Chains A and B, each alone.
Chain A
Amino acid sequence: MVTMEEYFNTYQSVDPQNVLHWVRVGEVSDFPENAGGCIKYKSKQVAVFHFERTNTWYACQNLCPHKLEMVLSRGMTGDAAGIPKVSCPLHKKSFSLEDGTNLNGEEYRIATYPVKIDNGNVYIGFAD
């Protein structure tokens, strides 16, 4: 079980220029289209989303900051005024997959990670 504090320490956004390791997490076809899947890296759970219509990929913490449950990969994806987002399956709070902000105007935010596709493989960028 994650405490609030541990969670703030564990999940911090990574900018593409700060990536230390590009971790291979599977092939493109392992991930559902226009929906999410969850991967594990060290003790982290990261949700990975493939927006097939624009062929873009996003990754964010799997932990929903609202009630601290490991569920975001199972949320529905979509966009709000063009911003790609995921909506939590528990209470439908929506988060921008670009910068992790909450789109309902609340103060929660989530950490996001860069995704790279190379030769049919999916890589997530971590700084640890």
Chain B
Amino acid sequence: MKKVIVVGNGMVGYKFCEKLAAHPQRDQFEITVFGEEPRPAYDRVHLSEYFSLKSSDPLLLAPRAWYEENRIELRTSELVSEIDTSIKRIVTHKNNSFQYDYLILATGSSPFVPPLEGVSKTGVFIYRTIEDLEAIEEYAKKLQSQGKYKAAILGGGLLGLEAANATKELGMETSVIEFAPRLMPRQLDQQASDLLIKKIESLGIHVYLGKNSKEIIGSPEITGIDFHDGSSLDVDMLVISAGIRPRDELAIKAGLLTGTRGGIEVNRKMETSDPSIFAIGEVALYNNGIYGLVAPGYEMAGVAVDQITGGEKLMSPTIDMSTKLKLVGTEVASFGDPFLENENAIAIRYENKQKGIYKRINISPDGSKLLGGILVGDASDYNNLFQLYINEIKLPEDAEDLILGARGGDGKSSFGSALDLPDSAQICSCESVSKGDICGSLTSGTCSSLKDVIGLTKASSCCGGCKPMVTELVNETLKSMGQEVKETICEHFEYSRQELYDLVKIHRIPTYNDALDQLGKGHGCEICKPVMASIFASIFMETANRQVGIQDSNDRFLANIQRNGTYSVVPRVPGGEITPEKLVVLGQVAKKYDLYTKITGGQRIDLFGAQLHELPLIWKELIEAGFESGHAYGKSLRTVKSCVGSTWCRYGMHDSVSFAIQIEERYKGLRSPHKLKGGVSGCIRECAEARGKDFGIIAVEGGWNLYVCGNGGANPKHAVLLASQLDDETCIKYLDRFLMFYIRTAAPLMRTAPWLDKLDGGLDYLKKVVVEDSLGIAEELENEMEELVNKFTCEWKEAIESPEMMKRFKHFINTDDSNEELVFVPMREQKMPKPW
């Protein structure tokens, strides 16, 4: 047995263990890992999520039990303090010593703290470990309780911006101080930085560029920073993020060769100057560089494992430093050489200041190769561009299409299919998985689904950035193997939503239980139950009161559950038009039940903090005043927003409010694969933001233009024109057809925009079906919709009128007590749940 000692249980040290543990020759090694930190290795890349997770468990790369199961001795809170290379032995700070045959140094790096006067003052932090974050959070809370709110980050690089975002989220007024004349100086050019600054400042973070810090002042707590230009900045806390310093102190003491600016020298085998010692991760100096990213570290871990098990794998000759910024409310990415512009490279730039988008690609003079680039504001093409760059794929004729999109043509993407990539194309750089690995695992029969492939290759299991491409590759490969890629909804039903919709309709299956008996198996789950509930509702217009147990938990109680288990109440306010009388009722009810009250982004009013047993009481009063359920909890029609339109507005062309109300009244209660939103604007100024909705109607000369398949949310899409200059009646007819077609065919939880993206034939096909009736189903769709519209009942009214249904709204079955564990805290003049 050979003894392997790993010094450092960080991301790369862990990866080394994981790879060795899975190696066929695993049994020839005895593995011991030392970690200075108190917990097992965790995901430092997602460190900032610690603030929202409030627990480090989800960040762990593997629980302690994993090390035990894999017979790896894990010694946390133990620092290796000495290496004696002559007798192959290490000593720890607890004075324990251990022999090794192979020593793996994965000690990572520590934040570089510039030698400024005052850096050791209270309130100055670094940003690297969970303990750092805990200290920052605690200090921020303390400051806030004293009415102090000013935080600054020293360093405007990738990490600095991440830290800035974090202190801002902690409620601090945050500034970023950067020495260079631009942000992210290693990744962005001036133009990109300028745009990014605008974005960041709009988020409330101030940016100071070209600032050379002189001294940190205050005693003993920091109160400010003085700069060399004579200016100064008041701050109550400072986070230093000015680069990294490899932790090579052990190696230096042991006499291993290190670089003048730090880092342990390694060759392509990851060997240090002592052949039984390897260095991997952020401490390794490879090709004269230190690489502060996980992907190269993981590759190094793989090389080291291969080397000690007798393999011949070498580190790639060049290291790719492409990166995407996480977490600052705007997309930023750079790849390859972002700055290249000389006789060997031409830069193509696109800038749209209005939308805050900047894209730059650097291509070879003959236009055949992509050498690098920058994306700000919209990095959705990052994966595709990165593939073209990293695999040196020949570019299309018009390289500018890559950032502008193909214009005028068939609307097809300029990137082609993922299947066109060469087998060697690296798809997942964190786990270095190639296209060949992914497709090969399917064609060889080892894997037969996306889940198998991820399990086997680990592709997309780290940062997840490549998931869309992995999914596409798996689906396309399965298709090319003649296998139908069946999108079954879950383990209980081997059917897609569309198939289930048809089966329920054709066989008139009356209940979920019957569906399980006839089409599925087991008890069902939280995925198939709501899908089936939606199907029953769309076919029979049944309310959520009929099959209560299969409703998503919000629909079951006809309200949205909030952080503390209380509910919100959102009555329908069609088109956003409300009488003063009704407004008064809302105010009175909110006051009576002590509800937090807010205007929503959907032009209506939300009352928060109602307990389960209060819901029917509240709704009874609202219904008596003429309100109805707003279905804010359902995958169903939410709101149809309106602008004031021609009745009052001097530019209005038609009466948008009346039309919005008419449409909201028509489709209210309609359940669908995902939620549905609409908007009606009185002219092209578009104050109702109708094109940000699943259907948007805009008044134009001669009628209404009907746009479909837009949304706001995580992935905003503008709706596209389906038909123009329609009269009221035709507009509604087309809407009936469009909505019913979507309800019949979309996958679960798929909004209209991704549905259109996936629809074979795209917008042209949709136009044919809806406008030209190419499938001959238009009348059927209209009739189905008409039937649903006629069957509408307010499910809240239904619930409060039935004593049996009312039983549902009780916190306890065996007593009338209410839930005493609820705690609210005051907020401005209202209240909120006690924070998590």
Contacts and interface: CB of A to CB of B under 8 A. Distances in A.
Interface of A: 1-2, 25-26, 30-35, 37-40, 45, 48, 51, 53-54, 67-71, 74-82, 84-85, 87, 89-90, 92, 94, 106-108
10 contacts: A34-B549, A35-B549, A39-B812, A45-B812, A45-B819, A53-B523, A67-B563, A76-B553, A77-B523, A106-B57
Contacts of A35: 548-549, 556
A107 B57 contact: yes
Contacts of A40: 812, 814-815, 817
B813 A31 contact: yes
Contacts of B546: none
B548 A32 contact: yes
B814 A2 contact: no
B648 interface: no
Contacts of A80: 491, 525
Nearest to B836: A67
B817 A32 contact: no
Interface of B: 57-58, 63, 491-492, 513, 516, 522-526, 528-530, 548-550, 552-554, 556-557, 561, 563-565, 807-808, 811-815, 817, 819, 821, 823, 834, 836
Residue in B522, B530, B834 whose Cβ sees the most chain A Cβ within 10 Å: B522
A74 B556 contact: yes
B525 A76 contact: yes
Given A67-B836, A69-B564, A92-B526, A74 B553 contact: yes
A40 B818 CA distance: 10
Contacts of B525: 76, 78-80, 85, 87
B526 A71 contact: no
A25 B808 CA distance: 16
Given A32-B808, A78-B524, A89 B561 contact: yes
B524 A106 contact: no
B563 A69 contact: yes
A76 to B, nearest CB: 4
Nearest to B821: A70
A35 B808 CA distance: 11
Contacts of A38: 811-813
Contacts of B834: 1
Contacts of B815: 39-40
Contacts of A51: 523
A18 B812 CA distance: 25
A94 B553 CA distance: 14
Contacts of A108: 57
Contacts of B821: 1-2, 45, 70
Q: Give the residue among A40, A69, A79, A89 with the most B Cβ atoms within 10 A.
A: A69
A79 B526 CA distance: 9
* Minimum-distance CB pairs A-B, first 10: A78-B525, A89-B553, A35-B549, A34-B549, A76-B526, A87-B526, A79-B523, A37-B813, A71-B565, A39-B814
A51 B552 CA distance: 17
Given A53-B513, A71-B561, A78 B526 contact: yes
